[in-house]
Structure 1
Amino acid sequence: MKAWCVRRFGGPEVIDLDDVPVPEPGPGEVLMRVCAAGVGPWDGWIRAGRSVLPQPLPLTLGSDLSGEIKALGDGVTQFAIGDAVFGVTNKRFTGAYAEYAVAAAGMLAWKPQHLDHVAAASVPVVGVTALQALFAQARLVHGQSVLIHGAAGNVGAYAVQLAKGAGIRVSATAGAADLAYVRDLGADAVIDYRTTAFEDAVRDVDAVVDLVGGAVQDRSFAVLRRGGRLISAVSQPDQMLAERAGVEAKFFLVDVTSADLAQLATMLDDGSLTTTVGTVLSFGDARIAHEMLEGTRPRPRGKIVLKVDP
């Protein structure tokens, strides 16, 4: 089979399309024919050697995927051969840019019926990150408030929709070109971060979901109520600033589970959640996808997905 492999860390040029054996599923795993593979910034970090997780070489890139189960490993009883599923390959977030991939059964769910494989492959990591940031980490409930930084990005767009759907008041930051888009997602207040200091527009929120980091993260302590929570999917917050503000602040790594994926699938099927696919490339264009990640090629808003034809 064909797979996009990395044998040394570096830029997009280090990705090679190789012939490799079809993998075999181990206990708790399934073998999937990959119909589509999502491309995310973490793929670029892994390729460049900047992953926070150990990534022994050689490796096959990719984590998000949607496809059809072709074989079951020992102990897998929740799925059957032929099932259409979506999710993530494994906790290392590798192996999906391939014609066939092994995936942990506990990181998969049945594909949303109303989405094709390309749209389904755009969901897993970013959708579950938004879900867990809001509810497992920030522990938000109906009637509370949140400020979401980077609301027009892939995680942010899900976070806005999920928070609004749960009855949470949503303030969000975005660029001028994305203000209308974020409002349409359901944000109650949208702040143009280039022209307005968000500290002047937001006060005493229950939580901040930080998808930007840097100075934006540090400034966010000023808008939290005492006892509030700053949750970052980008970097570890300054604990001295958190203590001074009287808030909880933490960085978290997403833990993709079948249960969370199934919850998102239900919402995608009933129309309470939408996904945005920005760029669909052929399987042979993985390097172009990574050039988009690096910013050396333009890309529209939304997720990059590789379509893997049979």
Structure 2
Amino acid sequence: MRRLPLCVVGGGSIGQRHINCAQASSTVDLTAVVDSNSDRRAELAARGLKVVASLDDVPSSTRAAIVATPTQNHAATATACLDRGLATLVEKPVTETVQEAKALCRRADDLGVPLFTGYHRRCHPFVAEARARLIVLGELVAVQGIWCLRKHDSYFDEPWRKVTGAGPILTNLSHEIDLMQYFAGPITEVTAICSHAARGLAVEDTAALSFRFANGALGNFMLSDSGASPWAFEAATGENPAIAVRGGDPMRFVGTEGAMGFPSLTIWGGADETQTDWRFPLVQMAAPNLPRVDGIAAQLERFVAAAGGAADDVLATGQDGLETMKVLDAVQRAAVSGRTEQVTL
């Protein structure tokens, strides 16, 4: 099988994970790492990587790109990749604003170049199993989630992480919104309260959110990158080597016939369909034993196939990234207005 010539744009923390996966893949030829920071280029070059300062310097054989720059640069960088005909996967969020996301998706469509968003959590086997098991819960009525992890102080040494576009709403809630919509369908309206009190930065450090889904279900979510807790996707799954494993389901789904914790996939339901009301004890159903994978590596293999023309119904498209941005935009508008805000069509 011919390897896909691919470059990674951005050699920061998430870029490093993409670089490592590309180097380990038998289906990828890592043609270059693009980074404008001279010190970082020197560090990467010392590891034997081909490093360049600009997309203009990427080898002409390159056919695909992964964009892992700061969020504020996603739109311009991804557009430049598309204009070069490179199948492009952009780290989440796909852009900083809805307007940028719409323009990026239009550009990809006009050029006929594949565009994907880096919601790699979709690629875990337990995510596919969760979608399949939701049907046993009956009609979905409620979704509850939490992501609360205290980021280390040096995380904010990077100036871009202190300014608009870098708070936990765009950086961390983005993943959660994609998963919630992947599981429960479109979110149509949002209320939000945000706080800057813990860190005192321009970006929020804590947010409390409520949602309405198109199917009638309601949801809420607690978000903080300043509070220490065991409840977050990464802490439950161990998928990010930089975050300690602590366990505990950070997301729950409640239906008319039962409930499920995620990602454990533990289900609570009636002994039969007549015993689900509060007069009867619910029965705990064991979760399946599923293989664990590196979500970013699994996403990369799917991206390689999709860049070659294969159909894929798991990867998040550019349009999926736009739909998530619309919800995040509503969250930000609601935090300012103090009112319930509709998700724009």
TM-score range, shorter chain: 0.3 to 0.5
Normalised by the size of structure 2, how large is the TM-score? 0.32
| Higher helix fraction (1 or 2) | 2
Highest CA radius of gyration, 1 or 2? 2
Normalised by the size of structure 1, how large is the TM-score? 0.35
